[in-house]
Amino acid sequence: MRYLLWQLAAESTERTPDAVAVSDLGEVLAYGALDRAAASLAGWLAMHGTGRGERVGLLAPKAARNVAAMHGVLRAGAAYVPVDPAAPAVRAGLILGNAGVRTLITTSRLATALWDVNPAALQTVRAVLLVDDPPAPPELPGTPEVCTWREMLTLAPVEAVKQAVETDPAYILYTSGSTGTPKGVVISHRNALTFVEWGIATVGVGPSDRLSGHAPFHFDLSTFDLYAALGAGASVHLVPDRVAPFAVELARWIHTQRITVWYSVPSALIRLLRQGQLERFDYTALRTVLFAGEVFPVKYLRDVMERFPSAAFYNWYGPTETNVCTSYRVPRPLPSGNTDLPIGRACANIEAFALTHDGRVARPGEEGELLVRGPCVMLGYWALPERTAESLDQHPLHRDYADPVYRTGDMVRVRDDEGGFTFLGRRDHMVKTRGYRVELGEIEHVLHECPAVRAAAVVALPDPVIGARIVGAYVPEPDVTTSPSDVLAFCGTRLPRYAVPEHLTQLDELPATSTGKVDRPTLGRLLTTAVNLQESQS
Amino acid sequence: MTLSDQLLSFIRTNLLRDEGAQLTPDDSLLDRGLIDSIGLIQIMAFLDTQAGVQIPDHAVTPDNFETVRAIVALVEQVRSGG
C-alpha cells in the first residue's frame, strides 16, 4: 500500500534500479543512484536532528540531484520547502524564515546572497548542504555546519522513516499573499499521491515514457513531472535553465530528448508556436501534452495541436491548494468556433461543485464559486490559522460532521455537456500572469515599502497570451526625486520577476472614487493609454 | 555611453535582484539565472528601443545571450547584416 510519497520512487527502484529516473544537462541519475543519494541525505538530515515535524529548505536550481534531495527529505520523514532560486534573496529569506527551516539545501552562490542580505531570517538554520560541491565553501555567519554533496554521499544510508502517516506534510509551496507576505500551502503525502496516482492512470504513464520537467520546483506543475515519472518507473528530463527561455532551443530539445509527455503553462506552448520554428522538428514521439495554470486561447491551441499531431491534449485545472482537481480531454479536431475551453470534470476521489451567490449548488447554465472537496485539498496555510479557516470552509450541505471544502475563489459556469465547468474569472484581486498567481495587494504592499513612494496602485490588463500584464502608477513623496525605473528596481529586490510591474507611471495623484478609494477602472484606462503610447514610440 | 555600458546598467536596474550585486561584461547571465523568459523579453525590448536592433528568431540562442559581451557582438553582427 502506498501512503507516503517516497514509496513511488522506492517501488520503481526495486523493479528497475538501472533505469534512468531523472536527467539534466550534466547529470543522469538511475533509480538506484537516486535512492542511494536520498538514503545518505536522509542520514545527513538525521545527524542534524531533522525528521518528522521539520521542514528542509530547498533553494537550488532545477537539477537531477535536487530531485534526489527531495526524495531524501521525504525518506527522513520531513517536508521540503522549494524556493525559487531566481527570487530576490530578501524574498527567499522571508520564506525560509517563515517556514522555520533548520536545514537548508542550496548552492554556494545562493547561500552567499542569502546570508549577505538577511542573516537574521536564517538564525534557525543549523546545517547547510551545498549541492554545487564548491572547492572552498563560503563563510556563512552563525551557521555551524556546512557539508558538500560529495561529502554527504559518503554518509551511511539510513532506512526510510516508516512511522509517518499520510497526513504528514510532504512539501510546502509558497504563493503570493495579498497582505504582502507569501503564504505557504502545506501539501500532505496523501494530497500529492491522490493527484499523482490519478495522473499516472489518466495519462497512462509507463516505464518507457520520457516526461519533460519544464516547471520550476517551487511551482505546483512540477509535482506531476517528478512524481508521475518516479511512480511509473519512467524518466523525467529537466528542461535546462539555459534552454527554457530560448524558443528554438526548447523546440529542438523536446525533439532530441524524444519527450513523450509534456506539461507546461499555455504561454510556454504559445511561445514555442510563435518563435520555436516547430516545423523544423519531428514530434511523433510526443503522445501527450498537458497544460494548466491559465486559460489557453483556443485560436492558439488549435495551431499547437496541429504542430504536435500525435499528442492527446488535456486541460488541467486546480489551484496549488488542491493540486489538479478537474481535467478535460481536448477533442481532436477542436470544433470550429469553440471559444471557451472547459476546465473539465472532477478527477477521481474528488468532488467539485459550484455554489451560487445565494448558497445553492449551481445547476447547468448557472454560475457560482467553485468548491473542492476530497483528499487532494491541502492541510492549510503554514502558520496562518485564520487564513486557513477562511479558505477551508465547512461543507455547506454537510452540517452534521466535520467536512472541509476548499473555496477556490474561482467563478465558473456549470456546463450542460461533458465539459464539466467553464472558468469565468476571479472573485478577488488575484491575477494569473504566465500561469503564476499574483496578488495585486502584494505588489502594492511592496510599492508602499519603497521610501520614495507615497501612494501606489497596480492593475492587471488582460492579455490573450500571458493572461495579464501588470502595470501600475505611483505618487512620489513630496520633495523626493525619483523615477519609474528607480521604483521598479526597488520592486525587483522584493518581488519575483513575473510580479514586477512591466510598466509604472508617475502621477501627481491617483484617480479616486467619490468615497476616496482608488478608482481602478479609470486607472486601468489611463495605464492602457500610457502603455500603448510607450509601445508606439518604440 | 557604449552599448555595453548601457546594457550593464539596464541589467543591473531591471534584472539583478540583490542590492550591491556585481556584474561585468564577461559574467554569464545564464549561469546566474538573470535570463529567464521574462528577462529575455526585457533585453530584446531594450535592444529594440535603445539600439534599434531586432534580433531574428534563429539568433536568439543561449550562446548569443551568454554574456553582455556576447550580446554586444550579436548586435554588431545583426547591424552589419551578418
A538 and B35 in contact by Cβ < 8 A? no
Residue A280's closest CA among A306, A262, A307, A299?
Answer: A307
- Which candidate from B16, B20, B37 shows the least CB-CB separation from A245? B37
Mind listing the pLDDT tens digit for each residue in A471-526? 999 999 998 899 999 999 999 989 998 999 999 999 999 998 877 788 888 999 99
Residue of B nearest to A491 (CA): B17
Orientation of helix A6-15 relative to helix A31-47, angle to 10°: 140
Q: How confident is the model at residue A130 (pLDDT cuts 50, 70, 90)?
A: very high
* Preceding omega of A333 cis (within 30 degrees of 0): yes
C-alpha cell at A149: 554533496
pLDDT of res. A401 = 95
The yes-or-no verdict on residue A538 having pLDDT over 60 is no
B62 and A109 in contact by Cβ < 8 A? no
Strand partners, A56: A80, A103
Kindly provide the b/e burial profile for residues A76-115, where b requires at least 16 CB atoms within 10 angstroms of the residue's own CB. bbbbbbbbbbbbbbbbbbbbbbbbebbbbbbbbbbbbbbb
Grid cell 534552454 — which residue?
Answer: A243
Task: Report the relative pairing of strands A392-394 and A404-414 from DSSP bridges.
Answer: antiparallel
A271-to-A23, A439, A459 alpha-carbon distances in Å = 24, 24, 24
- Which candidate from B13, B35, B61 shows the least CB-CB separation from A249? B61
User: What is the rounded CA–CA span in Å between residue A57 and residue A73?
Assistant: 10
Q: Which helix (H) or strand (E) holds A72?
A: helix A64-75
Q: Which of B17, B23, B67 to mutate to test the interface with A (most CBs of A within 10 A)?
A: B17
Residue of B nearest to A502 (CA): B42
The yes-or-no verdict on residue A367 having pLDDT over 90 is yes
Mean pLDDT of all residues in A377-385 = 97
pLDDT above 70: percentage of residues in chain A: 99
Mean pLDDT of all residues in A460-468 = 89
C-alpha cell at A77: 520523514
pLDDT above 90: percentage of residues in chain A: 81
- Model ipTM? 0.93
Interface of B with A in 10-39 (CB under 8 A): 13-21, 30, 32-33, 35-39
Strand partners, A316: A327
Evaluate whether A55 touches A97 at the Cβ level (below 8 Å): no
Q: For all residues of chain A together, what is the average pLDDT?
A: 94
The yes-or-no verdict on residue A144 having pLDDT over 80 is no
Strand partners, A456: A474
Amino acid at A531: V
User: How many Å is the maximal CA-CA distance in chain B?
Assistant: 38
User: What is the rounded CA–CA span in Å between residue A213 and residue A229?
Assistant: 10
C-alpha cell at A476: 512620489
- Which candidate from A245, A249, A485 shows the least CB-CB separation from B13? A485
User: What is the rounded CA–CA span in Å between residue A93 and residue A58?
Assistant: 12
The answer, for B6 touching chain A at a CB cutoff of 8 Å, is no
| The Cα angle at residue A370 between residues A365 and A371, in degrees rounded to 5 | 130
The yes-or-no verdict on residue A409 having pLDDT over 70 is yes
User: What is the rounded CA–CA span in Å between residue A492 and residue A514?
Assistant: 33
A88 and B18 in contact by Cβ < 8 A? yes
Residue A456's closest CA among A496, A499, A505?
Answer: A505
Which positions in chain B touch A248 (Cβ < 8 Å)? 57-58, 60-61
Which positions in chain B touch A86 (Cβ < 8 Å)? 17, 33, 36
